[in-house]
Structure 1
Amino acid sequence: MRNTKKFIVIGAGVVTLLAGGGAAAYAAAAAPTSPAAPTAPKITAERAIELAHQQVQGAWVSEVDHDDSGEWEVELVKDAQVYEVTVDAASGKVTAHGAKQADKDDDANDDANDDKGGDRDDD
């Protein structure tokens, strides 16, 4: 009779462990996977600006953006030219560099055509 009680207790313990382990495995498999947390870029914005200034010396920075592809996009302005410099956020390598003419209808040039908020009637 003693051995029977031991087998029942041991059997119940084994069943409990298996059921608990199975439930834990099911919960882990059924849990939704969370997207990986974004990692901070190795190259800081300040360093990306320094690298962009090496490409376009004497320019001022008008915009800095870190995009989803892991690159810094630095926009610089010098002598009515807008330069776009792309810097890899992991390595610091300049991956793109280009210039375009600044818009004539830019906010800096709007003063001559600004009607100071009033309605303008050209009739």
Structure 2
Amino acid sequence: MRITKKFIVAGAGVVTLVAGGGAAVAATTVAAPAPKVTAEQAIEIAHKQVAGAWVSELDLDSRDTGADVWEIELTKGAQRHELTIDAATGKVAKNETEQQSDKDDDDRDDRDDRDDRDDD
């Protein structure tokens, strides 16, 4: 009878440890809270910076060190704008403009010409 009591006590201890460990793992895998600035708000902020542009890319960058940011790429005419917007405050952290090169257009024309030749 003493042996049976020892097994019951030991089994209860193992169950307690496993349950406690499971709770600890569950607590560490809780999803991060949603950003205060939504994607729609980030796009509105970007359009205020670059009026008349269209959004070609939008990503939420969850950084390990520092605040989460929205990374938005806008295109207006021959210019590409890359903006970084703080997902907590809505402040523009970075606004870079890059001129799209004519070389990109020439490369597309060359590919189109090759495609035409392949059809012959």
**Shared fold, TM over 0.5:** yes
Distance in 1 (CA, whole Å) between partners of 2:46 and 2:74 is 8
Partner SS state of residue 83, structure 2: strand
| Correspondence for 1:99 among 97, 100, 104 | 97
Aligned partner of 2:115 in structure 1 is 117
Using a 3 Å threshold, how does the CA distance of structure 1 residues 50 and 81 change in structure 2: closer, same or farther? same
Unaligned segments of structure 2, at least 5 residues: none
| Correspondence for 1:25 among 13, 16, 21 | 16
AA aligned to 2:55 is V
Distance in 2 (CA, whole Å) between partners of 1:103 and 1:36 is 45
Using a 3 Å threshold, how does the CA distance of structure 1 residues 40 and 109 change in structure 2: closer, same or farther? farther
Larger radius of gyration: 1
Matched, 1:75 2:73: yes
Aligned partner of 2:31 in structure 1 is 37
Matched, 1:57 2:65: no
Normalized per residue, the structure richer in helix is 2
Offset at 1:23? 3.4
**TM-score normalised by the chain length of structure 2:** 0.66
Using a 3 Å threshold, how does the CA distance of structure 1 residues 41 and 107 change in structure 2: closer, same or farther? farther
Q: What RMSD, in angstroms, separates the aligned Cα atoms of the two structures?
A: 3.3
